[in-house]
Structure 1
Amino acid sequence: MAQLKKFPNINTLEWKSSKSQKWNTVVKTSGAGKVRTLTTWQRPQYTITTAFAYLTPAQYKTLMGFFASIKGGHQPFLWLDPEDYEEKGIRLGVGSDGRWQAMRRMGDYLEPVEYIENVVLYADGQKVGSVRVDKGLITTTATVSPTAIITADYKYYWKVRLSGDEFTAELQYKNIYKSKSMKLVTVR
């Protein structure tokens, strides 16, 4: 698969952005009223709804070009969410085999993340050198005690696609654009 594109670094999002979570749960109720539930997904699907409060002409052209290059909702891309984008000191396990899956923490819930960068790995609080990352799997060739507590700091991206095929930006005033709301949906 081709390398995923990163969403352009434009930091003028509106404050009224939202993030929703969806599960695919099947509910069956017996004649006696007993309920059985089953979820068919291992992880939730998130929908991020946001808009740009203002865009310069250069930012407007950058966004229009980006959405044209991914063909609307056709190709997924990497989104650096302004609120949920990093983990600091997250515990990944112990040093037993030298491989750890990067995780995103939402309260008590943990889910794996694949696209990370700026990784700093620690064993019992001491920085570990020579770290490699492949699809969220962090490995090291450094000698680490099998009982060491492994923690890490990193920045992560959400793999999303545009929900639908449309992105709209409008000219508000001379050289000031504003976008309409756009929805991004996580994909696996």
Structure 2
Amino acid sequence: MEKLKIFPQIMSLAWKSTKGQKWNTVLKTSGSGKGRSMTTWQLPQWIITTSFAHLTEEQYKQVMGFFATVKGGHEPFLWLDPEDNKEKGVKLGTGATREWQAIRIWGDYIEPIYHIKDVKLYVNGVEHSCEVDNGLIRLHAGDEIPQDATITADYSYYWKVRLSGDTFTAELVYKNIMKSKEMKLVTVR
């Protein structure tokens, strides 16, 4: 698994964050007016727009240094979104298999996720030890569970993102207090 940098945990994000999704849909219309559509993407690109309401001098240097290490939008990194970062009681399948893909659920839409932490696996509601690798949650070698067991899990997840563009800007508001301009993060696969 690739080793990605993790964005620093700074809990002063502004309330004005937004999240959107983008698909790559191609529309074709024939001479008769009939239309066809096709998407070339299996999963959407998520766009997260946010800013920091206030940063101490230390936090300001930490964020500026982080974006310098990833070279703006050049290198992807992991973002623990303060709003969307947990799944709890997610039904992953049954004991008929020994491994399950972690997922993020948005209503009827389900998306695989590959960067998870703090995993708790449950077999018929009872916590069970497990291994995690690239979003796959699996039983330890030799562990046996009933094939008809219901498998659920709780976990936190990171978004794999990059800075859209190469610019991050912060401004001095008051002595040793900064705030950032809007920053846009886009998911990468």
TM-score (norm 1): 0.97
Kindly state the Cα deviation for residue 101 of structure 1 after the two structures are TM-superposed: 0.2
Question: For residues 109-120 of structure 1, what are the structure 2 equivalents within 5 Å?
Answer: 109-120=109-120
Kindly state the Cα deviation for residue 13 of structure 1 after the two structures are TM-superposed: 0.6
Kindly state the Cα deviation for residue 2 of structure 1 after the two structures are TM-superposed: 4.7
Kindly state the Cα deviation for residue 124 of structure 1 after the two structures are TM-superposed: 1.2
Amino acid corresponding to residue 87 of structure 2 in structure 1:
E
Amino acid corresponding to residue 146 of structure 1 in structure 2:
Q
Kindly state the Cα deviation for residue 31 of structure 1 after the two structures are TM-superposed: 1.6
Distance 1:152 1:165 in 2: 37
Q: Which runs of 5+ in 2 are unaligned?
A: none
Q: CA RMSD in A?
A: 0.9
Which segments of structure 1 move beyond 6 Å, counting only runs of 4 or more? none
Distance 2:78 2:153 in 1: 21
Distance 1:22 1:95 in 2: 35
137-146 vs 108-117, greater mean Cα deviation: 137-146
Distance 1:2 1:92, change over 3 A: closer
Distance 2:23 2:148 in 1: 36
Distance 2:149 2:28 in 1: 45
Distance 1:145 1:80 in 2: 34
Question: For residues 152-167 of structure 1, what are the structure 2 equivalents within 5 Å?
Answer: 152-167=153-168
Query: Which secondary structure state, in structure 1, belongs to the residue aligned with residue 20 of structure 2?
Result: strand
Query: Which secondary structure state, in structure 2, belongs to the residue aligned with residue 41 of structure 1?
Result: coil
Question: For residues 46-61 of structure 1, what are the structure 2 equivalents within 5 Å?
Answer: 46-61=46-61
Task: String of CA shifts for 1:103-136, please: whole Å, max 9, x gaps.
Answer: 000111100000000000011111112x111110
Amino acid corresponding to residue 50 of structure 2 in structure 1:
T
Amino acid corresponding to residue 14 of structure 2 in structure 1:
E
Distance 1:94 1:31 in 2: 50
Query: Which secondary structure state, in structure 2, belongs to the residue aligned with residue 75 of structure 1?
Result: coil
Question: For residues 143-158 of structure 1, what are the structure 2 equivalents within 5 Å?
Answer: 143-158=144-159
Kindly state the Cα deviation for residue 177 of structure 1 after the two structures are TM-superposed: 0.3
Query: Which secondary structure state, in structure 2, belongs to the residue aligned with residue 60 of structure 1?
Result: helix
Question: For residues 26-105 of structure 1, what are the structure 2 equivalents within 5 Å?
Answer: 26-105=26-105
In structure 1, the partner of 2:6 is 6
Amino-acid identity (%): 63
Distance 1:2 1:17 in 2: 28
